[in-house]
Amino acid sequence: MSQKKRLFAVAALSMASAAAMAQTSVSLYGIVDAAVRSETAVNRGQNGGSIKTLAPGGMSQSRLGINISEDMGGGWRAVANLEHRLMSDTGAQSSPSDFWRQAWVGVITPVGRITLGRQYNVLFDLTTSTFAPYRYSPYIEQFKPELGVSVGNRQSNMVKYAITQGGFTAEAQVSAGEGAGDKSVGGMARYQMGGLAFGAGMLNAKAPSGAQIKGTVFGGSYTAGSLFVNLGYGKNKFDAANPADAAYRTLIVAYSTALVSPATPANQILTEAAFDVKDRDLLSVGFTYQMTPQFNVGAQFYRMSQSHYGLGALNPALAASPANYAGRESKANMFSLVGDYALSKRTDVYVEYDRISIDKSSPTAFAGGCAASALSATGSNLATSTLVSTAGCKRSRTGYMAGVRHRF
């Protein structure tokens, strides 16, 4: 081959490679967030004072992700996402059970988008896109009661379909339990017109035994210049738990720990009633106001109520116990206040205040100061509980936080 032909071949190959690269994009993204946090001590043996931590993600959980997109022509595009969540204070992964919090692949077509894998569920998509508490976050990682009614926020083994036409968006999902996990089926629809957005969604999660958790969420928001206001409502219905149904008990605990939503596990031990759920209702309302191009303030109020099956449903031997709270409700008010200042397009600093106040008549309480000896951080001992009284239990918790966040 002549020198001229070799040069022509190399040039042709380079052009073909450049064209292929133009059609496929791989982008790295992430968030690194850390905050100094102080919380009122409310656990067993903590009858006063506060707990100070370096929170590994104050406004947002730190993460590292890869987005992949390939233009296949004709309105078709292949897409994929891998996202890892990490603890910015220690470098450890955020969850011991899943290295990739999201791992999915799919196709965008002229008639919608289909994705397969572990991904956000339809209630999380609806809440964060339509009536999230904070316009710029969209929620506080360390305090997020609104996600406590989103039935886990994400599911594995999911197939999800989404379509957008003008201001209308609809999604449907189904996931397989594969013998051990929870199956799910659900859908949502939202509409946006100018500054007004509203929508509703439903999702059912089913344990291998057939016991179900049913979630319904709806709400809306309105943006007018610098002001953003939101209103949301969520309801969960839980089937009664069989003490022998370990898989369903695991689901209840997983989907109940956001009851009062402090994200620091060492400081959220609750009495058993927190994990004995019949119906849960959560109403939220709030606003964000952009005071300057760099500075935003926001506030959010929540009212939660939860009914219970009672200890007798979990352990018949406790049916006559004075602690059997069947027929009673747990109620709480929750509040958060945030100020956020953008140092640049990618870096911001923030301060945050949050408070939980549980009604005195509620069987749910923080474990700090309780007279009983058998309290659980996970609700795993409900069937053998010896709880006899919530006298002395803590009914409120206050948190303060200041941190910095960088997005890339």
User: Strand (E) positions, 176-278?
Assistant: 183-193, 196-206, 212-224, 227-238
User: Quick one: pLDDT at residue 18?
Assistant: 46
User: Quick one: pLDDT at residue 63?
Assistant: 96
Residue ranges of alpha helices (H) inside 243-384 are 246-256, 311-314
CA distance 352 to 34: 13
Written as one letter, the residue type at 159 is V
User: Quick one: pLDDT at residue 326?
Assistant: 75
CA distance 242 to 248: 8
Closest by CA to 324, choosing from 381, 363, 274, 370, is 363
Check: CB of residue 381 under 8 Å from CB of residue 374. Answer: yes
> Which long-range CB contacts under 8 A does 92-95 form with residues at least 24 apart?
94/56, 94/57, 94/61, 94/62
User: Quick one: pLDDT at residue 261?
Assistant: 46
CA distance 381 to 267: 18
Residue ranges of alpha helices (H) inside 182-231 are none
* Cα angle value 214/216/219 (rounded, 5°): 165
Check: CB of residue 197 under 8 Å from CB of residue 220. Answer: yes
Tokens 């690194």 belong to which residue? Answer: 32
User: Quick one: pLDDT at residue 7?
Assistant: 40
Written as one letter, the residue type at 233 is Y
User: Quick one: pLDDT at residue 311?
Assistant: 65
Ranges of the chain whose pLDDT falls below 70: 1-22, 41-48, 179-181, 243, 253, 256-272, 311-324, 367-392
Check: CB of residue 370 under 8 Å from CB of residue 378. Answer: no
Closest by CA to 210, choosing from 245, 175, 235, 185, is 245
* Cα angle value 211/212/218 (rounded, 5°): 170
The torsion angles phi and psi of 383, rounded to 5 degrees, stand at -75, -15
The two structure tokens encoding residue 202: 């439903």
The two structure tokens encoding residue 386: 């010896």
Residue range 101-115, pLDDT digits in tens? 999 999 999 999 999
Put residue 180 in one of left, alpha, beta given phi > 0 → left and psi -120 to 50 → alpha. alpha
The pTM for the full model equals: 0.86
Furthest CA-CA distance within the chain: 97
Residue ranges of alpha helices (H) inside 282-395 are 311-314
Closest by CA to 240, choosing from 149, 313, 152, is 313
Compute the residue count for the chain.
408
Check: CB of residue 156 under 8 Å from CB of residue 175. Answer: yes
Domains of the chain plus CATH, in order, are 24-407 (2.40.160.10)
CA distance 214 to 229: 27
User: Quick one: pLDDT at residue 8?
Assistant: 43
